[in-house]
A and B are shown apart, each in its own frame.
Chain A
Amino acid sequence: MLFNKIYKLSVTRLVLGVLLTLVFTSCKKDFLDKQAELSIPEDMTFETPERILAQVNGLYSSVKQGELFGGRYLIYNDIRAEEFQNRTSNVVTGFSSYQFTNDPSDSYIANFWIVGYLTINRINKFLADFELPENQGVVTDEVKAIYIAEAKFLRAFTYSALVQLFAQPYTLDNGASRGLPLRLTPNTTSEGNSMPSSTVAQVYTQILQDLDDAEANLPESANVTRAHKNTAIALKTRIYLRMGQYDKVLPEAEKIVSPSAPFQAPGGVTHRLAENVAAVFGQEAAQPENILSFPMDNTNAPGTQNQLGYYYNAGNIEYYLNRGAGSILSDSTGWPLTDARRLNFVENYNANWTILTKYSADPPYLDWIPAIRYAEVLLNTAEAEAEAGSLERAHALVSAVRERSDDSYTVPEFTTKEIALETIFLERRIELLGEGFRAPDIQRRLLPFNSVGAGASIPHDDSRYVFPIPTREILTNPEVE
Chain B
Amino acid sequence: MRKLVSLTVMLLLCTAVAFTQNRIITGKVIDATDGSLLSGVTVSGGQTGVQTDAEGNFSISIPASVTSLTFSFVGYESQTVTIGDRTYLDVALSSTESSLEEVVVVGYGTQTRKEFTGSAATVKGATIAERPLQSFAQGLTGQASGVNIVQPNGLLNNPPVIRVRGLSSISLSSFPLVVVDGIPISTADVSDNAVTNNPLADINPSDIESIDILKDAASASIYGSRAAAGVLVITTKKGKAGRTTVNYDGWVGSNRAVRLPEVLNAEQFVAHKNQAIENAFSVNPAFSSAPRDAFALMRDDDGNIIDTDWQDVVYRTAFSHSHNLTVSGGNEKTTFYFSAGMSDQDGFLKQNKFERRSGRFNISHQLTNRIKLFGIVNYTNSINNAPNSGSYDGGAFASSGLGRIAMAQAPNVPIYNPNGTYNLEASSIGRGANNIAMQWVNPQVLLDMDKNRSENNRLFANIGGEYEIIDGLTFKTSYTWDLRLTDNQRFWNPIQGDGYSWNGHAYNRTSRADNWNWTNTLQYRKTFADIHNLSVLIGSDAQNTRIENWGGQRDNIVDPFFTQYQGTFLNNTAAGNSIDEIAFEAYLGNISYNFDNRYFVTGNIRRDGNSALSADNRWGTFGGASVGWNLSNEAFFRNGGLGNIFDNFRLKASWGKVGNGNLTNYYGAYNLYSGLIYGSVPAVRYTQSGNNDLRWETSTQTNIGLDFAILNNRLSFEVNWFNKDIDNMILAVPQSPSKGIPNNEILQNVGSMYNKGWEFVVNYTPVRTEHFRWNTVVNFATLENKVTALVDETTPILTFTSGLELSSITQVGYSAASIYGVRSDGVNPENGRRIFLDNQGRQVQYQHLGGQDAWTLLDGTRVSSGSVTGATHVLGNTQPKWYGGFNNTFSYKNFDMLLNFTFSGGNYIYNGTRAGLRDQRVWNNSVDVLEAWTSEKRDAKIPRAIYTDNVSNGSAFLISDNVERGDFLRLQTATLGYRLPASALSRSGISNVRFYVQANNLFLVTSYTGVDPEISSNGNSNTASGIERNSIPQGRMLTLGLNLGF
A-to-B contact residues, CB < 8 Å: 8, 11-12, 15-16, 18-19, 22-23, 26-27, 31-42, 45, 50-51, 53-55, 57-62, 64, 85-92, 96, 99, 101, 103-105, 107, 110, 113-114, 117-122, 124-126, 180-181, 183, 187-190, 192-195, 225, 294-301, 304, 307, 310, 314-317, 324, 352, 362-364, 452-456, 458, 462-464, 468, 470-477, 480
Q: Can you name 20 A-B pairs with beta carbons within 8 Å?
A: A31-B542, A37-B581, A39-B673, A41-B671, A54-B683, A55-B684, A89-B439, A89-B921, A90-B399, A90-B439, A91-B956, A119-B740, A183-B738, A192-B739, A296-B679, A297-B680, A299-B573, A455-B851, A472-B737, A476-B734
B733 within 8 A of A: yes
The listed residue with most A CB atoms (<10 A of its CB), out of B477, B618, B689, is: B689
Which residues of B in the span 511-548 have a Cβ within 8 Å of any Cβ on A? 518, 520, 522, 540, 542, 544
Inter-subunit contact B439/A101 (CB<8 Å): no
Which residues of B in the span 461-512 have a Cβ within 8 Å of any Cβ on A? 467, 469-470, 475, 477, 500-503
| Alpha-carbon separation in the docked complex, A307 to B501 (Å) | 10
Inter-subunit contact B956/A103 (CB<8 Å): yes
Inter-subunit contact B922/A89 (CB<8 Å): yes
| Alpha-carbon separation in the docked complex, A294 to B948 (Å) | 35
Inter-subunit contact A183/B739 (CB<8 Å): yes
Known A23-B540, A58-B676; judge A51-B948 contact (CB<8 A): no
What's the interface size class on B, roughly? 35 or more
Inter-subunit contact B741/A26 (CB<8 Å): no
**Other CB < 8 Å A-B pairs besides A103-B957, A225-B678, 18 of them?**
A15-B467, A19-B475, A32-B610, A39-B674, A40-B684, A55-B683, A57-B683, A59-B685, A92-B804, A190-B735, A190-B746, A300-B678, A363-B555, A455-B286, A456-B284, A463-B864, A463-B865, A472-B798
Which segment, of B340-348, B582-590, B969-977, faces chain A? B582-590
Among candidates A61, A88, A90, A472, residue contacting B685 with C-beta atoms closer than 8 Å: A61
Inter-subunit contact B439/A42 (CB<8 Å): no
Inter-subunit contact A113/B737 (CB<8 Å): yes
| Alpha-carbon separation in the docked complex, A125 to B691 (Å) | 17
Inter-subunit contact B738/A480 (CB<8 Å): yes
B712 within 8 A of A: no
Known A11-B467, A297-B680, A363-B502; judge A34-B522 contact (CB<8 A): no
Q: 10 closest Cβ contacts across the A-B interface?
A: A121-B740, A295-B679, A58-B685, A477-B736, A57-B683, A39-B672, A476-B736, A103-B869, A42-B671, A187-B739
Known A194-B736, A456-B286; judge A60-B678 contact (CB<8 A): yes
Inter-subunit contact B571/A55 (CB<8 Å): no
Inter-subunit contact B686/A125 (CB<8 Å): yes
| Alpha-carbon separation in the docked complex, A188 to B672 (Å) | 11
Inter-subunit contact B921/A40 (CB<8 Å): no
Q: Chain B: which residue is nearest A469 at the CB level? A: B738
B681 within 8 A of A: yes
Known A40-B672, A90-B439; judge A317-B426 contact (CB<8 A): yes
| Alpha-carbon separation in the docked complex, A190 to B745 (Å) | 8
Binary contact track B729-766/A, C-beta < 8 Å → 1, others 0: 00001111111111010101000000000000000000
Q: Chain A: which residue is nearest B425 at the CB level? A: A350
Inter-subunit contact A45/B667 (CB<8 Å): no
Which residues of B in the span 837-880 have a Cβ within 8 Å of any Cβ on A? 849, 851-852, 854, 864-866, 869-870, 872
The listed residue with most A CB atoms (<10 A of its CB), out of B469, B585, B791, is: B469
Known A363-B502, A455-B286; judge A61-B571 contact (CB<8 A): no
Inter-subunit contact A40/B673 (CB<8 Å): yes
Give the distance to chain B from A130, nearest Cβ to Cβ, in Å.
13
Which residues of B in the span 563-603 have a Cβ within 8 Å of any Cβ on A? 571-574, 577-579, 581-583, 585, 587
Tell me which residues across on chain B come within 8 A of A110, comparing CB atoms. 737
Tell me which residues across on chain B come within 8 A of A91, comparing CB atoms. 950, 955-956
| Alpha-carbon separation in the docked complex, A144 to B467 (Å) | 68
Tell me which residues across on chain A come within 8 A of B689, comparing CB atoms. 187-189
Q: Chain A: which residue is nearest B428 at the CB level? A: A88
Inter-subunit contact A38/B738 (CB<8 Å): no
Q: Chain A: which residue is nearest B737 at the CB level? A: A114
Inter-subunit contact B740/A34 (CB<8 Å): no
Known A31-B542, A34-B581; judge A107-B737 contact (CB<8 A): no
The listed residue with most B CB atoms (<10 A of its CB), out of A55, A117, A190, A462, is: A190
Tell me which residues across on chain A come within 8 A of B500, comparing CB atoms. 316
B246 within 8 A of A: no
Q: Chain A: which residue is nearest B503 at the CB level? A: A363
Q: Chain B: which residue is nearest A315 at the CB level? A: B501
| Alpha-carbon separation in the docked complex, A87 to B921 (Å) | 11
Among candidates A62, A88, A193, A304, residue contacting B739 with C-beta atoms closer than 8 Å: A193
Inter-subunit contact B680/A299 (CB<8 Å): yes
Give the distance to chain B from A37, nearest Cβ to Cβ, in Å.
5
| Alpha-carbon separation in the docked complex, A343 to B431 (Å) | 29
Give the distance to chain A from B615, nearest Cβ to Cβ, in Å.
7
Inter-subunit contact B555/A455 (CB<8 Å): no
Inter-subunit contact A180/B520 (CB<8 Å): no
Known A107-B800, A190-B735; judge A58-B583 contact (CB<8 A): no
Tell me which residues across on chain B come within 8 A of A125, comparing CB atoms. 686
Inter-subunit contact B671/A51 (CB<8 Å): no
Inter-subunit contact A45/B865 (CB<8 Å): no
Inter-subunit contact B579/A38 (CB<8 Å): yes
The listed residue with most B CB atoms (<10 A of its CB), out of A38, A301, A470, is: A38
Inter-subunit contact A300/B672 (CB<8 Å): no
B806 within 8 A of A: yes
Which residues of B in the span 683-739 have a Cβ within 8 Å of any Cβ on A? 683-689, 691, 733-739
| Alpha-carbon separation in the docked complex, A317 to B573 (Å) | 25
| Alpha-carbon separation in the docked complex, A277 to B958 (Å) | 47
Tell me which residues across on chain A come within 8 A of B556, comparing CB atoms. 362-364
The listed residue with most B CB atoms (<10 A of its CB), out of A92, A101, A458, is: A101
Give the distance to chain B from A435, nearest Cβ to Cβ, in Å.
19
Known A19-B522, A22-B540; judge A34-B667 contact (CB<8 A): yes
Give the distance to chain A from B192, nearest Cβ to Cβ, in Å.
15
Known A300-B677, A475-B795; judge A117-B737 contact (CB<8 A): yes
Inter-subunit contact B284/A363 (CB<8 Å): no
The listed residue with most A CB atoms (<10 A of its CB), out of B500, B679, B869, is: B679
Q: Chain B: which residue is nearest A320 at the CB level? A: B437
Inter-subunit contact B672/A104 (CB<8 Å): no
| Alpha-carbon separation in the docked complex, A308 to B919 (Å) | 28
Tell me which residues across on chain B come within 8 A of A299, comparing CB atoms. 573-574, 677, 680
| Alpha-carbon separation in the docked complex, A304 to B507 (Å) | 14
Inter-subunit contact B469/A11 (CB<8 Å): yes
Q: Chain A: which residue is nearest B950 at the CB level? A: A91
Inter-subunit contact A122/B740 (CB<8 Å): yes
Inter-subunit contact A32/B573 (CB<8 Å): no
Tell me which residues across on chain A come within 8 A of B587, comparing CB atoms. 23
| Alpha-carbon separation in the docked complex, A352 to B746 (Å) | 49
| Alpha-carbon separation in the docked complex, A31 to B674 (Å) | 24
Tell me which residues across on chain A come within 8 A of B691, comparing CB atoms. 189-190
Give the distance to chain B from A303, nearest Cβ to Cβ, in Å.
12
Known A103-B957, A193-B735, A295-B680; judge A12-B675 contact (CB<8 A): no
B176 within 8 A of A: no
Tell me which residues across on chain B come within 8 A of A60, comparing CB atoms. 678, 683
